[in-house]
A and B are shown apart, each in its own frame.
Chain A
Amino acid sequence: MREIRAGRAPASLGAGFPPDAPFALVEKQKGAMRLAAVNRAALELGLAPGLNLADARARLPDLGVADHDRRADALLLEWIADGCDRYTPMVALDPPDGLILDISGCAHLFGGEAGLRADLVERLQRLGLQVASALGDTPDAAHALARHAGDRLEALPVEALQLDQEESVALRRAGLKRIGDLQERPSQILSARFGEEAADRLARVAGGRDIRITPRRAEPALLLERRFAEPIGRTEAALAAIADLAAEAVHRMEESQRGGRRFEAQLFRTDGLVRSLRVETGLPVRDVPLIMRLFDERLEALADPVDPGFGFDLVRLSVPGFEPLAPLQLPLEGGALAEGELAQLLDRLSTRLGRGRVRRLAAQDSHIPEQASLLFPAIETPPAQDWPGPEPGEPPLRPTHLFDPPQPIEVIAGVPDGPPQRFRWRRHLHEVTLAEGPERIAPLWWRRADNGGLARDYYRVEDRHGRRFWLFRHGLYGRETTGPLWYIHGLFA
């Protein structure tokens, strides 16, 4: 049994920050910014997690600070756990910063338990982690020894039992400060005062009582695998095996009227390396050719091709989760599949070209016309923002076409904010017959260094020939400028 605690390497905390300077990660707890973790230098200067950031700053004005990212920590821990798969399949997370490995029967490859521990610690240290590790007969014993930096269980403090704070204090008040103090005394005096659970904890930590760890990998909704007696050396053969597995998966999904949006194929090499291929779709699917086409495309898009090495001895296909997908009713006239086909096309294009290369427009909440829409990857679910509808009885306020950038025009208009009377655009003079405005849109001052900028006065105008334009005066006459420039920004249908 093994327990690892991952510390952070200062180098990962911020570029340019001296590694020996005091540093802390902070997060908001109970309404205040508090230290969540500190480096060694900060610890030596008396800072500790839980301290209010302002108090810490009061003591150390130069304290380096970054936001605590628990998600990144969890990901890091997962990533380390992935790496530990090489030692044993029984890896459990002990969040936020620990791992427990059940190495029963696994140590012989590393020359025994000590060899395995040394190998692991060295690897992790090479990643820049500070590691505290311990070997124990039970997970609890390993946990206690690693966290309280001991090698003899009886010398560990009673806190190693992980009782309530209040109970730990009570034991200390009684003068029973070490695990050994408890072991020496009849167990009923402990259970009479602290309950059976305390006695049980003691047994699990120091008495050899074992409980199984819960391995970390969550059961996927569907997991299919095929083992080969002889390793197969060709990637195509492995893919063919995956296609078989996919067919079986689709069959099962049909039964339950469900589909999958994510599929993962894992190719296990005999030497222990694993290659994973993950594909996802915008809508739930259960279509074998589609799934396999996505896998093919993924394979082609890989920067480093899959090297079978000494061959694969196991392939695995997993579907992490299902989503409802009703059975398809093919329409007689053949048109109703368009939505599904479009989604498939998007999936294929996005997979092949990259998710950022296929995009769609979405409405944005902004007064600035050219910022009121945004392009984003088509495969993502569009933001909930709806396109603003026109008010009833109102003419369209925005043109169908926007010039990017707006084109300068020459205009004759009254001051300070009269509508244009005629304007010259592309050497052509337009006589304005109808105009409405101005619609005044002031600049986003907070994006500008001078906190200012020029407002725009927009007019919807119609010329003698019934053509409708969207023009604006850039800068308010008198207040912002004395010679405002004019632009045409769009055309109405």
Chain B
Amino acid sequence: MSGTPAFAEMVAATNYSFLRGASPAEEMVAAAVAAGHAGIGIADRNTVAGVVRAWSALRDARARLAGEGLPDIDFRLATGTRLVFVDGTPDIVAYPGSRHGWGRLTRLLTIGNRRAVKGDCILCLDDLLGHLDDLLLIVMPGGEGLRLGEEGARLHPKWQGPMAASFFQSPTPSPWRKPGPMSLATIDGVRVEEPPSGASSKPSRAAADMGSGLRRGDDCRRALVLLKEAAPDRVWLGLAMPYAGRDRRWIAKLARLAAGLDVPILATNDALYASHEQRRLHDVVSCIRLGIRLDEAGTRIAANAERHLKPVAEMARLFADYPEALAESIRLLERIDFDLEQLSYEYPHEPVPDGWTPQAWLEKLVADGIGWRYGAAPAQAVFDLVETELKLVRKARYAYYFLTVHDVVRFAREQGILCQGRGSAANSVICYVLGITSVDPVANKLLFSRFISEDRNEPPDIDVDFEHERREEVMQYIYRRYGRHRAGIAATVIHYRPRSAVREVAKVLGLSEDVAARLTSTIWGSYASKMEERRFHETGFDPGNVEIGRLNMLVGELLTFPRHLSQHVGGFVLTEDRLDETVPIHNAAMDDRTFIEWDKDDIDALGLMKVDVLALGMLTCIRKAFALIATHIGRQYTLANIPPDQPDVYDMLCLGDSIGVFQVESRAQINMLPRLRPRELYDLVIQVAIVRPGPIQGGMVHPYLRRRSRKEAVVIPSPAPPHDPGELVDVLGKTLGVPLFQEQAMKLAIVAANFTDSEANQLRRAMATFRNVGTMPRFESKMIEGMAARGYPRDFAERCFEQIKGFGSYGFPESHAQSFALLVYVSSYIKCRYPAVFACALLNSQPMGFYAPAQIVRDAREHGVEVRAIDVNHSEWDNGLEALPHPSPSGERDKLALRIGFRQIDSFREAWAKAIVVARAAGRFGAIEEIARRAALPRRAIRLLADADAFRSIGLDRRGALWEARRTPVGELPLFAAARARELGEEPDAMLPAMPLSEHVAADYQLTRLSLKGHPMQFLRDVFRREGVLSCREVAEGRNGRKVKVAGVVLVRQRPGEGKAIFITLEDETGITNVLLWARIFEVQRREVMASRLMVVEGEIQKSEEGVVHLMGVRVHDRTAELGRLSEDHRTEIELSRSDAFQHPQLPRDHEPRGSRHPRNVRVLPKSRDFH
């Protein structure tokens, strides 16, 4: 490259300059390398959220080159930020010259972030002047800046009030702005003209422009002067050629200014995207940011496509008059002695008492734990395992990590909060003896995977699940213990998804809301990784249409762009030193929360420690169940002392009787249970993991089942000689030669396809996130060819890779499945032995799980539990248990009845329930007005109780109670109320007609979504009987192949996997029927399937040999109108299950709880539109 000067673009934004940058960081780096730059400076607006991506892209590229034996690239990455100010100071791009400088920069950003609402940042020049150490600065004249109070710089409520007042009243909008150390006039000898102030009563627009223009020039000079003085030799003036016509004149002027101040000038293109082709996308994101359409954007979007990374020769041509400006970019780059790698990491020291080393303290805790878990004489195997693990921990120096997790778990245990760890490190015996997990790895032989990767230099992974209702206590403890300056929640990058991308791009293109809604409605779920052309066809739009084609193109480009940062559900990053010197901290939308601006991929890439504090509904349920058992039965249970391997528990599961049980309660899981026939904990581990996209797409399910039922020999594939024919026995032995878990897929890549650890690591990262799906094809050929080369059957290799791809959309590692399996067993145990307790705890932990309260109650009754209705004289807020007077001798299971609590009444309040219980302590209620008076209930509460038929114990049915309740006075002093009550008593009898049972049932469904009085179908039975419709029980008992009709209310509709079949569950008064509808039939009967709440299905009974019965649907009839027969007045509202795919679309969980809506808030009609 002789003749061409060296140059590096030092002002490059990525798409983490939200809705301003139009290229991902990785692309910017790649484009800079391709354009011959010596390096690139990544600087997004008031953030460093995107720099880790640029950094790891470069690192991966280098690793790849090294792996292929190619020479390294001579390229340097500078990671910094573009500071945008609210006080009129021009934008300043800042790069840390050292690790210390990085800490100053992140602290500066933290200060700005903490002043502002989530996502915004408020900075003034004085803030920068206070954090100048080791920062290299490029002043960028001509930026638009930020205005306080507007988008990008909105004050946090905490700062509003007097602070805000000083912001807004100040003539120059900066409270922090103090007079500079020198007056401007003394510097250049020229007095800067004051902007016109108040002299002319009505300044023209031109005058106003002139004023701001002068101020801008003034601000630029001022910033340069102040910075030059405070940080001599670390300030540059950035010059760009935007092709605005006057470029050269403008640059000459600025160069003169810089020369006068002795500030070097630096050539840049102030790049916002990698190539000029991204102009279109840049225009679109600009419009999204401004909330306007392209055709009305006018001059508010860029005039041309010039702000891309330009080749060095092009930059040299543009800046031919200022060769030194190009050279300065290299000089700046060479001044930077900081790499993100230097963010060396130290775990918090807190949990270790004085005088101990962390390793010694861990060893002591482990020694204590062995006694606690295994008693006086543990097996030798335990000691051996502990020793191996401790050696690994010592070697990798992870003692602090285990101690930190132990500390959090110890706190939870002290507070009685149930918790359980999972993740790769959670299989260790150390975690078991420290109480982090409850699965004994020795007894269960969970020695399958290495719990820490020795060669991958990355922290171990332990996620801890806590009760969902009490996790906040744990999070606040972490903040207390480590301090907000050292503990922060990781960010989650919210990306554009097909839905949001289509909606926003359509708006910008001026397409109607209807078109956008139609297109988004076609996207199943919301995690389709791309808009497929087929989707367009389905909606009747022609992708060849120019408008639609344009939309398609732009959506494709916008997809996977980050939209904003949000807080991760529970991933904490903890440091020994100040966290804000490693990464900037933001205010979260929630009060009392702060989060850092890197997400878990970034944290992984940098090797920071993260403790996942997650919420799990089932833990709440189990804790409540344990408490109920302790109270009512007097037995103390913990996760670890539930008797293992009870045959009756497994018998129950083998029947598919698992409603409410953790993880295995979905339709697909229930169908799998009788086929898999679990008999021990490891079977449950497999059960949990097998009904997942990975194994299903990889075609692993059927081979596994055939081998398990001994219909097929267990053959573990072998490589050709000279390789060890048994090399996969270790990997696949436990799953009968069929890879089911993520770890197995990884290990296959290493053992069978010869991946290096680093490649396997990249593969794991690509698997972990669909965003990197683009990198998968590279691994595909490597893996398949690698395995084929070693003599494995090609189709086996292909299936293995298919499975890895499946993991991409929903990875399920064995280490998680193991922890989950224990909860499956514990919840099954409770359900089997204490059905009333189980139903009660489940109802009180709602919302969680798959089923609506009606189905939980029904299931309890089918298991012989007496369920009692809501009553003002018996119920409490929570559902409760009542002792039966004459317990049968058969055991605890028949001792208790379930009393429905007030919480099941729609929109009833907990405070009202508490008031009722308190008032009831003084004696039973005898009349409605007495309740209203003694519990001081508002009218609405009384009406809800009456409508829920909760006054039976005082001799009033729903109708009578409602009639009475409407005239019951409230909020009166007792004396007056009594007087008035007498007055009220003189009313003539209204002679109300009696309410028929069917109307009661309809009203029950309306108020509480369940009825103990009957099932809606029983009132329609005669109607359907005449039509020859069978009941669900009759279908279950019918012979295989029989053609029948069945009717029922719709509980759930699901469309698993690739959507080839629709599962519909119907319920009537005799039981349920599972209907299977092929997609082809569904498409013809779409309206009926989508709209029906009560359905008649014609089809053929299909019985599998395990006894699973399906109805293969042929025709569907919408008979929802029949529900009107129950009551002409009250619509019988059938609540769909929480897992209904149409009403509650499932988002990818990423091991996080779904943020789904409370089912009680879901009104009659389906709200979702995920399916077409």
Contacts and interface: CB of A to CB of B under 8 A. Distances in A.
Given A55-B1167, A392-B206, 7 more contacts: A52-B1167, A55-B1090, A169-B1129, A189-B990, A365-B298, A441-B304, A451-B553
B1129 A177 contact: yes
B1129 A173 contact: yes
Interface stretch (B59-67, B242-250, B1008-1016): B242-250
Contact of B246 (A33, A169, A436, A445): A436
Nearest to A448: B546
Interface string B1128-1142: 111000000000001
Contact of B1169 (A52, A170, A442): A52
Interface string A255-278: 000000000000000000000000
Contact of A46 (B210, B294, B1091): B1091
Interface in B277-324: 279-280, 283, 294-296, 298-300, 303-306
B34 interface: no
A451 B276 CA distance: 13
Contacts of A359: none
Contact of B206 (A50, A186, A194, A390): A390
A211 interface: no
A176 to B, nearest CB: 7
A442 B303 contact: yes
B987 A446 contact: no
A438 B245 contact: yes
A175 B520 CA distance: 45
A193 B992 CA distance: 14
Which of B509, B967, B990 has the most A CB atoms < 10 Å from its CB? B990
B360 interface: no
Contacts of A54: 517-518, 520-521, 1169
Interface stretch (B145-153, B928-936, B957-965): B957-965
Pairs of residues from A and B, 8 with the lowest C-beta to C-beta distance, nearest first: A365-B298, A439-B245, A54-B1169, A389-B206, A440-B243, A193-B966, A172-B1129, A59-B1087
B1158 to A, nearest CB: 18
Interface residues of A, number: 62
A493 interface: no
Interface of B: 204-206, 209-210, 213-214, 243-246, 248-249, 276, 279-280, 283, 294-296, 298-300, 303-306, 509, 512-514, 517-518, 520-521, 538-540, 546, 550, 553, 943, 947, 958-959, 962-963, 966-967, 984, 987-988, 990-995, 1003, 1086-1087, 1090-1091, 1118, 1120, 1128-1130, 1142, 1165-1167, 1169, 1171-1172
Contacts of A76: none
A172 to B, nearest CB: 4
A170 B966 contact: yes
Interface of A: 26, 28, 33, 45-46, 50-55, 57-61, 65, 67, 169-170, 172-177, 185-186, 188-189, 192-194, 364-367, 386, 389-392, 394, 397, 436-442, 444-447, 449, 451, 455, 457-458, 460, 479
Contacts of A397: 245-246
A451 B284 CA distance: 13
Given A54-B517, A67-B514, A449-B546, A175 B959 contact: yes
A59 B246 contact: no
Contact of B213 (A33, A175, A392, A439): A392
A173 B947 contact: yes
A61 B300 contact: no
Contacts of B299: 365-367
Contact of B205 (A57, A59, A65, A389): A389
B1172 A392 contact: no
Contacts, number: 166
B514 A189 contact: no
B987 A188 contact: yes
Contacts of B539: 61
Given A58-B1090, A173-B947, A390-B206, A439 B243 contact: yes
Contacts of A26: 514
Which of B298, B306, B550, B994 has the most A CB atoms < 10 Å from its CB? B298
Contact of B204 (A389, A436, A457): A389
8 contacts: A28-B513, A55-B1165, A58-B1169, A439-B245, A446-B280, A446-B283, A455-B305, A479-B276
Contact of B298 (A174, A366, A438, A446): A366
Contacts of A174: 959, 962-963, 990, 992
B245 A458 contact: yes
A61 B1169 CA distance: 12
Nearest to B1171: A58
A391 B1003 contact: no
A453 to B, nearest CB: 11
Contacts of A446: 280, 283, 294-295, 509, 550
A169 B1133 CA distance: 15
A67 B517 contact: no
A458 B304 CA distance: 12
A312 to B, nearest CB: 48
A59 B1086 contact: yes
Contacts of A367: 298-299, 303
A61 B1083 CA distance: 10
A49 to B, nearest CB: 12
Given A392-B209, A442-B305, A365 B300 contact: yes
A46 B1089 CA distance: 12
A408 B883 CA distance: 99
A61 B249 contact: no
A57 B514 CA distance: 11
A57 B963 contact: no
B105 to A, nearest CB: 34
Contacts of B990: 174, 185, 189
Contacts of B959: 173-175
A54 B1130 CA distance: 26
B298 A439 contact: no
Given A54-B521, A61-B540, A389-B209, A173 B1091 contact: no
Nearest to A192: B967
A448 to B, nearest CB: 9
A447 B306 CA distance: 20
Contact of B992 (A46, A175, A390): A175
B987 A189 contact: yes
A164 to B, nearest CB: 12
Nearest to A46: B1091
Nearest to A442: B304
Contact of B1130 (A46, A51, A172, A193): A172
A189 B958 contact: no
A390 B204 CA distance: 12
A169 B962 CA distance: 11
A172 B992 CA distance: 11
Given A175-B995, A193-B967, A389-B204, A440 B303 contact: yes
Contacts of A445: 279-280, 283
A394 B246 contact: yes
A436 B518 contact: no
A33 B1169 CA distance: 12
A365 B297 CA distance: 8
A58 B1086 contact: yes
A356 to B, nearest CB: 22
Contacts of B538: 61
Contacts of A437: 245
Given A439-B243, A446-B550, A57 B298 contact: no
Nearest to B1142: A58
Given A57-B518, A442-B303, A436 B248 contact: yes
Which of A50, A59, A449 has the most B CB atoms < 10 Å from its CB? A59
Contact of A391 (B209, B294, B1165): B209
Given A175-B993, A445-B280, A61 B1086 contact: yes
B1172 A451 contact: no
Contacts of B540: 61
Contacts of B550: 446, 451
Which of B295, B514, B1172 has the most A CB atoms < 10 Å from its CB? B514
